[in-house]
Amino acid sequence: MQQLVAELEQARVGRVSLNEPLAGHTTWKIGGPADIFLVPDSQEQLAAAIRVLHRHGVPWTVLGRGSNTLVSDKGVRGAVVKLGAGFDFAQFDGSAVRAGASFSFVKLSVVAGKEGLSGLEFAGGIPGTVGGAVYMNAGAHGSDVSRIFKSADIVWEDGTLETYGKDEMAFDYRRSVLQDRRGIVTEATFQLRKGDRKEIAAAMASYKDRRRRTQPLQMACAGSVFRNPPNDHAARLIEAAGLKGAREGGAEVSLLHANFIVNHGDAKAEDVLTLIRRIQSTVEDRFGIRLVPEVLLMGER
């Protein structure tokens, strides 16, 4: 381990730390330590770090703002990569916007609206980063990333860098090629369209008010836990199964929105996993539908 750390530091890959607690890096406020925690600040640093890890056969995973992610209580073996300040930018060129992978997806929707550009209104309630949104083909309100996506720069697991267009990304419902081939988005370009600032602001205000009334945003949570099944909503099924308010340890199915699991302050990852399994089995027994988790499970089981 010391030799690996020394090689990473020699390669100047950014911040390198050992046994970094991940609870402080997730919106659920849950998670054990990462063996190695890397924070590169440029594509060059990221590619160098991935090449070193690849050469040593060390597994790695990437963590954005920690939404939509459940980190094991035992932590993560190998390395966790979190993109640093050098990936936190947004640049406009006419009706297109190029944004770094660590830039807030919510903030991107806000600044685009101020530029009078339409197409990102749906993103106003999606926590997390641009990179995470591309990875998951994040969406809401009848739209998603694939509708506005133009291209993305990706560092693959051998440290090589490529630019992928929309067709190469193989977008589907909450899916992209990145769930089949290991890589890290470093930046993405979205094609927007000119719009009326007042109309854009009104739409975003309406979405924001709806979120405030229907989602437990004041509590530690990770967004929607399950994908919506075809022609239905996970929240409706969970509520109809009588699981609103169901609790395991410090984790609870939100009384405000049944597809959210909230942390009352002392929840463990195992509490959340137990609730997830209970929801799946109850809904399947009741309705014959197996709910598929939308949250990413990270770390040692």
C-alpha to C-alpha distance for 176 and 198, rounded to whole angstroms: 33
Beta strands in the chain (DSSP E): 15-21, 33-39, 60-62, 69-71, 76-81, 90-93, 96-100, 117-118, 139-140, 143-144, 149-156, 161-165, 183-191, 193-194, 247-248, 251-253, 261-263, 296-298
For residue 179 the two structure tokens come to 């769930």
Q: Are 5 and 18 contacting, i.e. CB atoms less than 8 angstroms apart?
A: yes
C-alpha to C-alpha distance for 53 and 11, rounded to whole angstroms: 11
C-alpha to C-alpha distance for 55 and 259, rounded to whole angstroms: 41
Which residues, in sequence order, are CB contacts of 34 under 8 Å at separation 6+? 19, 20, 22, 75, 76, 79, 80
For residue 234 the two structure tokens come to 């996970």
Q: Count H helices, E strands: the chain?
A: 8, 18
Helix-, strand-, coil-residue percentages of the chain, each rounded to 5: 35, 30, 40
Which residues, in sequence order, are CB contacts of 276 under 8 Å at separation 6+? 225, 261, 293
Q: Are 283 and 237 contacting, i.e. CB atoms less than 8 angstroms apart?
A: yes
C-alpha to C-alpha distance for 148 and 117, rounded to whole angstroms: 12
The secondary structure of residue 85, as a DSSP letter, is G
**Catalytic residue numbers, as ranges:** 174, 224, 294
